[in-house]
Amino acid sequence: MRTGFYDAGMDGPLEADLRVDAEWIVPVEPDRTVLAGHALIVRAGRILDLLPQAMADARYRCAEHVRLPGQVLIPGLINLHTHAAMTLLRGYADDLPLMTWLTEYIWPAERQWVSPEFVRDGTRLACLEMLTAGVTCFNDMYFFPEAAVEAALEAGQRIAAGIIVIDFPSNYAADPDGYLHKGLALRDALRHQPLVSFCMAPHAPYSVGERSLEKVLTYAEQLGLPVHMHVHETADELRQSQAQYGVRPLARLERLGLLGPGLIAVHAVHLTEGEIARLAQHGCHVAHCPSSNLKLASGLAPIARLLAAGVNVGLGTDGAASNNRLDPWAELKLAALLAKGTSGDPQAVPAHTALRMATLNGARALGLDDQIGSLAAGKQADVVAVDLAGAHTQPCFDPVSQLVYCAGSADVTHVWVAGRAVVRAGDCLTLDAGEVLARARHWRMRLRPS
């Protein structure tokens, strides 16, 4: 199978920047495709070709040739929901219900400590953790997004930065209009930066009022931005909405016009069959965060039913304060296993579907599926190599099953973003790990609860 569109003519082999040979390549598109003994060719940051290695020998002359026997190439993983800077609150308050965790611990700590320095250091720590695990793009929602973008660009990692909106004041902004003004100004300043995209990011229906949500919708439609929002995370959220507005949150969002192909509904744990149908009807997306849902006892999202209804579902980790790792491999496996267990169907979310949720589905939710999410000629060369030669992944009858059910972050060896090597032999090339960890220790001493 050849997926490229260039041929070497009479003038001999074509020049390219990078060739990567692997035991297998899983391009995600076409679905359920596994290419054995193929090479991936990169030029000017984009995928030029995928073809058998013997054909690559004749067709291309590459400046760099990386050989990875026993390894599999996959698209870069996409973390569809995180609060990256909250790595600095990892383990700060555990084993608590969501609203207790938020109102008595997390929000007070944020009021005291969150600053550009906090967000920059926390996001650098998150980028180090995620990049070395194979996450090439993350969708973030947090204060001081300019500091998060700065950290992501330093790491060479893609970021979908949230233009956060919330009705209460913070160290970042005094009111909803202040949040919008600052976020939109950042978007205007960076709209041509190739590694940065933006989402409108109203926190949740219970923390954002009607006027603010109407403004979010207006800007989202004018600028063509997705809307990234916590929706139906807990049973308490539903009760509160019915008491205050007379309807469940999803019905309120529908009434305001926010249900549509731009909505990324995060968590979406508590859904009726009618609500699942409405999400599908409006072309909404869901960011599934299984570890966080379990740790906060929020519940089990009906992922098998969402997928069966045609809802696009991607995977997120949530923040490290409620997970406590930004580990896409844990989410991959857990998403597949929980879907099987809750549906009673062992074929619910098979391995290929889980991998698609962690790659192309996330790209589609962000409106970036024409650029990333699969390995196809013309797309950005966001590529991850995973070693399947270890004892825990052998024997390997099916590399995709081994990726989902056996592999982990420690098996990621190489990562490229837009053709640039950012991880090699498991080491991050763009961030000083010692410095990043030293800053984490600095914050531990400052934030340590008395």
Q: pLDDT digits over 343-352, tens only?
A: 999 999 999 9
CATH number at residue 134: 3.20.20.140
Q: What is the pLDDT of residue 449?
A: 65
Distance CA(55)–CA(198), nearest Å, equals 40
Q: To the nearest whole number, what is the mean pLDDT of the chain?
A: 96
The answer to whether residue 301 is domain-embedded is: yes
Cis ω for the linkage preceding 261 (within 30 of 0) = no
Within its chain, how far is the Cα of 148 from the centroid? 15
The answer to whether residue 333 is domain-embedded is: yes
Note whether 195 and 339 are same-domain residues. yes
DSSP E strand stretches across 223-336: 227-231, 263-267, 285-288, 312-315
Distance CA(5)–CA(443), nearest Å, equals 50
Three-state DSSP class for residue 78: strand
The answer to whether residue 102 is domain-embedded is: yes
Whether the pLDDT of residue 258 is over 50: the answer is yes
Note whether 175 and 58 are same-domain residues. no
Which residues span the domain enclosing 195? Answer: 77-365
Note whether 47 and 22 are same-domain residues. yes
Note whether 276 and 321 are same-domain residues. yes
CATH number at residue 60: 2.30.40.10
The answer to whether residue 438 is domain-embedded is: no
The answer to whether residue 448 is domain-embedded is: no
Q: Strand 77-82 to strand 60-75: parallel, antiparallel, or no bridges (unpaired)?
A: unpaired
Q: Strand 383-387 to strand 60-75: parallel, antiparallel, or no bridges (unpaired)?
A: antiparallel
| Mean pLDDT, rounded, for 356-376 | 98
Q: What is the pLDDT of residue 4?
A: 52
Note whether 60 and 87 are same-domain residues. no
Q: What is the pLDDT of residue 450?
A: 57
Burial class, 162, CB count within 10 angstroms (exposed 0-12 / middle 13-18 / buried 19+): buried
Note whether 71 and 81 are same-domain residues. no
Q: Residue 363 carries which side chain, given as an amino acid letter?
A: A
Distance CA(44)–CA(59), nearest Å, equals 17
Percent of the chain with pLDDT over 90: 94
Domain stops at, among 302, 330, 365: 365
User: Measuring CA to CA, which residue among 310, 299, 231, 252 is closest to residue 277?
Assistant: 310
pLDDT in tens, 92-109: 999 988 888 889 999 899
Q: How does 328-338 read in b/e, with b if 16+ C-beta sit within 10 Å? A: bbbbbbbbbbb
The answer to whether residue 426 is domain-embedded is: no
| Mean pLDDT, rounded, for 376-405 | 98
The answer to whether residue 230 is domain-embedded is: yes
Note whether 160 and 304 are same-domain residues. yes
Write the DSSP string, 1-25. Answer: ---------TT-SEEEEEEEEEEEE
Whether the pLDDT of residue 86 is over 80: the answer is yes
Q: How does 342-371 read in b/e, with b if 16+ C-beta sit within 10 Å? A: ebeeeebbbbbbbbbbbbbbbbbbbbbbeb
The answer to whether residue 65 is domain-embedded is: yes
Write the DSSP string, 127-140. Answer: HHHHHTTTEEEEEE
pTM of the model: 0.96
**Cα–Cα separations (whole angstroms), residue 378 to 3, 50, 360, 370, 436:** 10, 11, 15, 9, 34
Looking at the structure of the chain, the number of domains it has is 2
Whether the pLDDT of residue 1 is over 50: the answer is no
Whether the pLDDT of residue 2 is over 50: the answer is no
Check: CB of residue 226 under 8 Å from CB of residue 365. Answer: yes
Note whether 25 and 135 are same-domain residues. no
**Helices of type H across 4-97:** 53-59
pLDDT in tens, 261-293: 999 999 999 999 999 999 999 999 999 999 999
Note whether 338 and 323 are same-domain residues. yes
Query: Which segment of 5-9, 58-62, 349-353, 367-371 scores lowest on mean pLDDT?
Result: 5-9
Dihedral Cα 404, 407, 409, 410, nearest 10 deg: 180
Note whether 93 and 69 are same-domain residues. no
Note whether 158 and 57 are same-domain residues. no
Note whether 269 and 392 are same-domain residues. no
